């Protein structure tokens, strides 16, 4: 019953899913934090840019962004992110697309975290003469991040599931493997169960562990 699995690299496909998730998570955490800093900062142009970025990117389907990366950036404009191998450059373009998309949600999660920090914290920080970067970097963001663990966990789980969109441009991750398997084998239910189990293994523990961490680090008020 499980014989046909020898022909397919199930673990390899899920490893690609994990790699896509982790790389895009790091990228979007950095870019999303910068966006959040821009959106709460004193420079009107940066605020406007951050708001526009979030509102535009959030409302475009991820599929459009990732397909655009492959068909528009690579095939039309010849930007292949430093690799001539099709698989490698598609992988990198997917990470780029996922980062661009997810950072909008990271930005909103961090902003939600900033909103949980009591006004008095920032006021006290200003009163002792800290500048905006110091208020944000030393006082507000450290507390905001601790409150944002919950929302950020949800973004990470959504990101894990969103990596399947990379299948649209042929990155050999779990959903593409599933498509290939259901087309070639007559074992639909078994194949689906395996893939579903794999995703449960990735998403459910993430939610439970980080949910616990989130409670642990939350600032008690």
Partner 1 sequence: MSSVLYDAQGPRAKRRNILYTAGFLVVLAAVLWWVYKALDDKGQLEWALWKPFFSGTEAYSTYIWPGLQNTLKAAALSMVIALPLGAVLGIARLSDHAWIRVPVAMVVEFFRAIPVLVLMIFGLALFAEYTDVSSDDRPLYAVVTGLVLYNASVLAEIVRAGILALPQGQSEAAMAIGLRKNQVMRLILLPQSVTAMLPAIVSQLVVIVKDTALGGAVLTFPELLASANTMSGYYGANTIASFTVVAVIFVLINFSLTSFASWLEGRLRRRKKSTGAVLGVQDTADIAGAAGTGTAA
Binders in 55-84 for partner 1, by CB under 8 A: 55-56, 58-64, 67-68, 71-72, 75-79
The residue among 1 and 120 lying less far from partner 1, judged by its C-beta, is 120
Residues 153-212 that bind partner 1 (CB under 8 A): 153-158, 161-165, 167-168, 174-175, 178-179, 182-183, 186, 188, 192, 195-196, 199-200, 203-208, 211
Exposed/middle/buried for residue 101 (C-beta within 10 Å: 0-12, 13-18, 19+)? buried
DSSP annotation of 204 reads H
Instruction: Report the nearest approach of partner 1 to the CB of residue 176 (Å).
Output: 9
Q: How far apart are CA 140 and CA 145, in angstroms?
A: 9
Distance CA 169, CA 70 (A): 7
Q: How far is the CB of 201 from partner 1 (least distance, A)?
A: 9
Of the candidates 18, 49, 145, 218, which one interacts with partner 1 according to CB under 8 A? Answer: 49
Cβ nearer to partner 1, comparing 5 with 72: 72
Q: According to CB under 8 A, which one of 105, 146, 147, 149 is a site residue for partner 1?
A: 105
- The string of DSSP letters for 39-94 reads HHSS-HHHHHHHHHHHHHHHTS-HHHHHHIIIIIIIIIT---TT--SHHHHHHHHH
| Closer of 95 and 166 to partner 1 (Cβ) | 166
């Amino acid at each position: 019953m499980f014989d046909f699995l020898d022909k397919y690299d199930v673990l390899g496909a899920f490893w690609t899913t994990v790699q896509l998730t982790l790389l895009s998570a790091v990228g979007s955490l950095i870019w999303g934090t910068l966006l959040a800093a821009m959106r709460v900062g004193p420079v009107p142009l940066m605020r406007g840019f951050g708001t526009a970025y979030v509102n535009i990117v959030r409302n475009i389907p991820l599929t459009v962004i990732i397909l655009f990366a492959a068909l528009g950036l690579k095939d039309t404009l010849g930007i292949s992110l430093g690799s001539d191998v099709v698989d490698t450059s598609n992988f990198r373009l997917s990470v780029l697309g996922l980062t661009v998309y997810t950072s909008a949600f990271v930005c909103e999660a961090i902003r939600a975290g900033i909103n949980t920090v009591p006004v008095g914290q920032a006021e006290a920080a200003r009163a002792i003469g800290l500048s905006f970067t110091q208020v944000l970097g030393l006082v507000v963001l450290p507390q905001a991040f601790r409150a944002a663990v919950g929302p950020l966990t949800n973004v990470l789980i959504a990101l894990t599931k969103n990596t399947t969109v990379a299948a649209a441009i042929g990155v050999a991750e779990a959903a593409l493997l599933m498509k290939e398997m259901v087309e070639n084998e007559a074992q639909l239910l078994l194949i689906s169960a395996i893939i579903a189990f794999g995703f449960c293994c990735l998403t459910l523990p993430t939610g439970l562990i980080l949910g616990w961490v989130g409670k642990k680090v939350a600032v008690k008020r």
